Amino acid sequence: MRQLPGIASGLQGTVTQANRLLLPTDRGYGEHSRFSRDVDRLMQQLNDAARSLRILADLLPRHPEALVRGRASQGLQ
């Protein structure tokens, strides 16, 4: 659990680097190519995963029981 914030931060850094690396593919494959759409979808999914990890890393120190019980409907956000 202690490593979770670092993992989330590292994942966000990886997403940023991957975005920079893949940005020139629009020039090579075309902005509206299937490859470009797949890369855009992949980057969105990676961003969503990083966001979810950041939320989890923020939630668990305050509510460690959430690992066992899940999120309560009382708004543990």
- Number of folded domains that form the chain: 1
- Does residue 12 sit within a domain? yes
pLDDT tens digit string along 18-67? 877 777 766 677 767 888 788 888 888 988 988 888 888 888 888 888 88
Q: How many residues are there in the chain?
A: 77
Q: Are 20 and 55 in contact (CB under 8 A)?
A: no
Residue 66 covered by a domain:
no
pTM above 0.85, yes or no: no
Instruction: Please give the residue range of the domain that contains residue 49.
Output: 4-22+30-61
For residue 48, being part of any structural domain is answered with yes
**47 within domain boundaries:** yes
Quote the CA–CA distance of 43 and 37 in Å, as a whole number: 10
Does residue 73 sit within a domain? no
Q: In terms of Cα–Cα distance, which of 66, 51, 67 is closest to 75? A: 66
Within a domain: 16: yes
- The whole-angstrom separation of Cα 55 and Cα 60 is 9
Q: Are 39 and 22 in contact (CB under 8 A)?
A: yes
Q: Is residue 40 part of a domain?
A: yes
